[in-house]
Chain A
Amino acid sequence: MEGEVGDFHVTLTRKPRYVLENKCTGCTTCVEYCPAKYPDQYNQDISKNKAVHIYFAQAIPLITYIDESCLYLKENKCRICEAVCKNNAIDLKQTAEKREIQVGAILLSAGLEPFDPKVKKEYHYEEFANVVTSMDYERLLSSTGPYQGEILRASDQKHPRKIAWIQCIGSRRVTPGENSYCSAVCCTYAQKQAIVTKDHDAAAECVIFHNDVRSYGKDFERYFERTEKLPGVRFIRSYASIVREDTETKNVTVRYSTNEDGVKEEEFDMVVLSVGLNPPVDMKSIADKFGIELNPHQFCRVDAVNPMATSRPGIFVSGGFQGPLDIPESVFSASGAGSQIGELLDYRRGNLAKERIYPPERDVSQEEPRIGVFVCHCGANIGRIVNVPETVEYCKTLPNVVYAQEQLFSCATNSAKGITDVTKEKGLNRVIVAACSPRTLEPLFRDTLREAGINQYYFEMANIREHNSWVHSKEKDEATQKAKDIIRMSVARAGRLEPLREFDLPVNKAALVIGGGIAGMNCALSIANQEHEVHLVEKNAELGGMARKIHSTLDGLDVQEYLRDLIAKVYRHPLIHVYHGATITGATGYVGNFETSVKYENGYAKIKHGAAVLAIGADLHRPVEYLYGEDERVLTHLELEERIAQGDERVINAKSLVMIQCVGCRNEERNYCSRLCCSESVKNALKLKEINPQMDIYVLFRDMRTYGFNEDYYREASNKDIKFIRYEPQDKPHVAPGQSEDGRSVLKVTAADYILGKKLELDADIIALAAAVVPATATKEMAGLFKVTLNPDGFFKEAHVKLRPVEFATEGVYVCGLAHYPKFIQETINQAYGAAGRTLTLLSHDIVVASGSVCTVNEDKCVSCGACITVCNYGAIEFVETPRGRKARVNPVLCKGDGVCNTVCATSAIVLKHFTDEELLSAIDAAFPKEEVVQRMDVAVGDV
């Protein structure tokens, strides 16, 4: 790679696939005939795969490639795949290709590498047959895994009944070859694996050996509780070592110790090593090639206030290469880095896009249905089970079918073109392709209709592969009959189909960002830097939010200085309009076209905007225990930070200071972890030790959740003699005023010490409570205004925890920052840019397209009972006054096309287009024409 930001030259080497991407249809016939078996890398080498194969079931593109175990590539023989491929997609002559590309920015998403336990002999990996890594186990659990979802032991192919997980393999250890940091994801994945194991085998015994359960993510505390409550699941807090393998049974013995019983040994059928996350294997060469720096843990060195920026301008990083992180954070950073690249390259946006032009649509609504049926062989996938020629002949006998033909691969480019040509030539006005699932190829075939000038909703797909040839491979005659039945149903339905309009809505190019904290400001800046107007609404008189109370981070960032700088950037930006002292009084509209009313210090404003970002932050819980509010020596952790920053004598000169963690959360009322507090307390403790090394500091905790790189600071704190003492929720510390031995007036803190097994009494001059982060009071109201939902803890609920973590199910509304869930400044910045990235995806378009398959009301039938309005969770239906009275009307932009309203309408006035009762009932009627079917069915189904 050469060049600089805005103008990089990158040379890529592309390994040969030996399969032509434009010809392979992914039918996998070649895989079946390939004689070369080798260990399947995707399945952790546990099972075998073929030299030609699809990497995994969700691979993109979903086509085969040939790897180095190929007999032809090794020994110049075989070439069976070439012979069996009916589409001539195999090209064994391919060689590596060099390609030069010119780009303005680069995003490094090099990912992570699971820790390799072979580096330590004591883990006995690959030595004891039944010791597996969590990655191996993950594959064993999967239905696409080596044993199709059966958990089998390597030694005897039997189901393990008693399984141990050993946590922190390769993590939180300072021994050579291992990592000092916490890998952040293993506690929760081990819980998932235990739950799935119990799903497989309800009687299985699962034991998780851990050193703190770090369930710090959104909804993770409940997940932990769910796992812990399963019968036969035990969490044991202990280091554990693998001591021996039984020579006969190949069972594995684990040694561990508990406070109650001391050192113990226990035998397991299988042991899972919960391996941590390493940086990518080739990180050094990545760093060299791209001229970026690595951090001491060999991950990418990132900017303290911009975790997506590397040390080199124009080169960004997202995902695991930032450091160990979970899927949602990985997705934030991906969208976020996208937004930052957008800021750089916005001036060129859209230059490479080409618009498709379709011929004008022919109005066929008055014509009799003229249906064409294309029956696909899918190579051998359908063709060798279903008698395709016979099926085609049958199709020709069906009502309204004027044309039928077979195709080898309907999805191949020439076949798709063929469908367009035949449609035009034969004057077809409905097209059925009998092939595979509509999930992948319906868009392609709809396109062939558009190319032929026919409305795309006149397309119908009959699935005779997944629903038929793949499940009935042993019953060829019956499968042929079933293919005919499925097509007959489609024909019946196709005759009823109606042309539908997808309509274009203009997009207002402005964004509204609610909340002027770190999240809202970063988001607003990134949007505005891409030439969009932003209205930034802040409830207080000043920008800054919760960060105003934070002075430094564990990494030593001066938060106030950063904040001043950020605020200045916001005020200076010509496209950002800030509204201070603001409240939202109303919000209407929908994606691309919102109108929000704001009352602010200078009056009222009605803001028109295309997108909204809810970045309203969170509040701090006001503790009701441990004498908070009664004794001035009891502070919250944020108050302590404030006092340290101010140099409060009473605090910095304290002889003894006690911190109590988990105040107001991880309990029944707030069943979640506030994520930040362990690190906040460690930060304060380190700061105090630095100022006053003589101070005795005690941290009373339940689990120390200093995940990721923060683990190093936790270790540093322990090394500096800060005492960490664990307590159990049913035996909380007790605080009462008292006197120390030397006659000082102190607060007496009593707690059980589980390691020493006795009651401890600590004298505290100051107590700091790690108070919970709670949803902002306005959260509920905002949810109502913008029609978004909340999770059980009252934080905003994103559209999908992992796949869409900065969006709401309501289109055009996004979320970032603490309003989503407690998170650190760096994580907040990742998510703020992420929300900006998603916002830009919407705002950079001039129009949004609304589906044609939405509901509509037949006003003649509507009796304005409102049943449909009550069940629509999207608020898509409203009453309107018409000359004939009040009627329900659907806003097609808000309608998601689920059709629940159809089933509650007593007069059947509301209709979901493309899934109307008529269309569905015609398919039901055609499914089993009584006279011929009933007897045949019993023969066909056989005994299952």
Chain B
Amino acid sequence: MRLIRVMCSGRVDLAHVFRAFSKGVDGVFIGACHLNECNYITHGNYHALTMVNLAKKLLEHIGLKPERLTIEFMSGSEANLFVEGVNGFVKKVKALGPIGQAEGLDEKELQFKLEAVTRLIPYIRLVERERLRLPAMPEEEYSKFFASDELKRLFDETIADKLAVSQIVSLLREGPLPTAEMAKRLGLTPSEVSRHLSVSSRQGLVRYDETRKCFALA
């Protein structure tokens, strides 16, 4: 385990977490103060908790094990909690195995997916602010919300769709591809891909290459 110091858990960003994973880190551990025990009035740990829940959703969505990320709440005097938390986490991550490999993704695929998420982070921040910002409440309530159907719908409507388009654009950057090939590479159904393509072509992101009979970047 290597430590990165921040002055508040609320400073830890999706970008930091996904950068770590893209550098081959197998697990990310965030240590935060106990909820409602902020020494100031920041209560940044609630922001961290939202970020972690959201990041777990994203990991799951791109086929990575969400258990690779954890947040543990403790105070400076609770060395025992830190030790238990770290040992438990390291054990868990070791059991999961190396990132990507354990999930059946080759290095290229892994980087491709992590990059797609990273590119989308500014947009995710907007979504988080508009739709996912939660009031201060117990940790379990957060977990409940992030496991709810409502969240799933929100996530699919907003982030998942954008993530798919982002990945399609990345794929097409390498050269034009037929829909079926894209579906295969992205793990989506051809009809889902078509839907994204039709929206994207309306937005002027992609175009149908009549001569090659496949889609290309606009």
Interface residues of A (CB under 8 A from B): 143, 149, 438, 463, 467, 482, 485-486, 489, 789, 799-800, 809-810, 853, 865, 867, 870-871, 873-874, 896-900, 902-908, 912, 915, 917, 920-921, 923-925, 927-928, 930, 933-934, 938, 941, 943-944
Contacts and interface: CB of A to CB of B under 8 A. Distances in A.
B7 A920 contact: no
B37 to A, nearest CB: 10
A663 B128 CA distance: 46
Interface string B28-69: 000000000001111110010001000000000000000000
B16 A900 contact: no
Contact of B40 (A853, A896, A944): A896
Nearest to B88: A944
Contact of A924 (B10, B16, B98, B122): B16
Contacts of A907: 122
B74 to A, nearest CB: 12
Contacts of A800: 39
Of A900, A925, A943, the most chain B CB neighbours within 10 A belong to A900
B15 interface: yes
B41 A899 contact: no
Contacts of B77: 143
B16 A898 contact: no
Given A900-B10, A906-B126, A938-B94, 12 more contacts: A463-B3, A810-B41, A871-B47, A874-B42, A903-B47, A905-B125, A912-B11, A920-B6, A928-B23, A928-B25, A933-B24, A941-B90
16 contacts: A486-B2, A489-B2, A871-B47, A898-B44, A899-B7, A900-B11, A902-B11, A904-B125, A904-B129, A906-B123, A915-B11, A920-B4, A924-B20, A927-B4, A927-B20, A943-B94
B8 interface: yes
A143 B2 contact: no
Given A485-B2, A870-B129, A915-B6, A900 B24 contact: no
B23 A789 contact: no
A372 B217 CA distance: 49
A484 to B, nearest CB: 11
B94 A903 contact: no
A799 B38 CA distance: 10
Contacts of A810: 41
A906 B14 contact: no
Nearest to A921: B19
Contacts of A941: 1, 90, 94
Given A896-B42, A930-B24, A903 B11 contact: yes
B212 interface: no
Task: Pick the most buried of B4, B98, B122, B126: most chain A CB atoms within 10 A of its CB.
Answer: B4
Contacts of B206: none
B87 interface: yes
B91 interface: yes
Contacts of B25: 927-928
B12 interface: yes
B41 A924 contact: no
Contact of A899 (B10, B78, B87, B125): B10
Contacts of A903: 10-14, 47, 51, 125
B211 interface: no
Contacts of A915: 6-7, 11
B137 interface: no
A805 to B, nearest CB: 14
A900 B42 contact: yes
B148 interface: no
A925 B77 CA distance: 30
B2 A927 contact: yes
A898 B19 contact: no
B125 A467 contact: no
User: Across chains A and B, which 10 residue pairs bring their CB atoms closest together, nearest first?
Assistant: A899-B11, A898-B8, A900-B10, A927-B2, A903-B13, A906-B122, A930-B24, A898-B42, A944-B87, A809-B41
Contacts of A897: 7
Nearest to A482: B2
Contacts of A486: 2-3
Contact of B90 (A924, A928, A944): A944
Interface string B99-127: 00000000000000000000000110110
B80 interface: yes
Given A921-B16, A941-B94, A873 B2 contact: no
Interface of B: 1-8, 10-16, 19-20, 23-25, 39-44, 47, 51, 77-80, 87, 90-91, 94, 98, 122-123, 125-126, 128-129
A941 B7 CA distance: 27
A810 B80 CA distance: 32
Contacts of A799: 40
A934 B98 contact: yes
A799 B43 CA distance: 13
A944 B91 contact: yes
A794 B41 CA distance: 16
A809 B39 CA distance: 8
B46 to A, nearest CB: 9
A262 B2 CA distance: 61
A873 B129 contact: no
A10 B91 CA distance: 61
A937 to B, nearest CB: 8
A915 B16 CA distance: 12
Contacts of A925: 19, 23
A870 B125 CA distance: 13
B147 to A, nearest CB: 23
A789 B123 CA distance: 33
B2 A906 contact: no
Contacts of B128: 904
A463 B79 CA distance: 17
B154 to A, nearest CB: 18
A799 B16 CA distance: 31
A903 B42 CA distance: 14
A415 B132 CA distance: 52
A917 B15 contact: yes
A928 B47 contact: no
A874 B16 contact: no
B135 to A, nearest CB: 13
A900 B125 contact: no
B19 to A, nearest CB: 5
Contacts of B8: 898-900
A912 B10 CA distance: 12
B4 A923 contact: yes
Contacts of B126: 865, 906
Given A789-B41, A900-B47, A906 B11 contact: no
A346 B101 CA distance: 71
Contact of B6 (A809, A873, A899): A899
Given A149-B80, A903-B13, A944-B90, A927 B23 contact: yes
Nearest to A898: B8
A897 B10 CA distance: 11
A563 B25 CA distance: 68
Contacts of A865: 126
B15 to A, nearest CB: 7
Nearest to B4: A923
A902 B125 CA distance: 10
A811 B124 CA distance: 34
A903 B129 CA distance: 11
A362 to B, nearest CB: 27
Nearest to B97: A938
B43 to A, nearest CB: 7
Given A904-B125, A941-B90, A853 B7 contact: yes
Contacts of A482: 2
Contact of B3 (A467, A905, A906, A933): A467
Nearest to A870: B129
A530 B91 CA distance: 61
Contacts of A917: 13, 15-16
B98 A921 contact: no
Contacts of A934: 24, 98
Contacts of B79: 143
A87 to B, nearest CB: 27
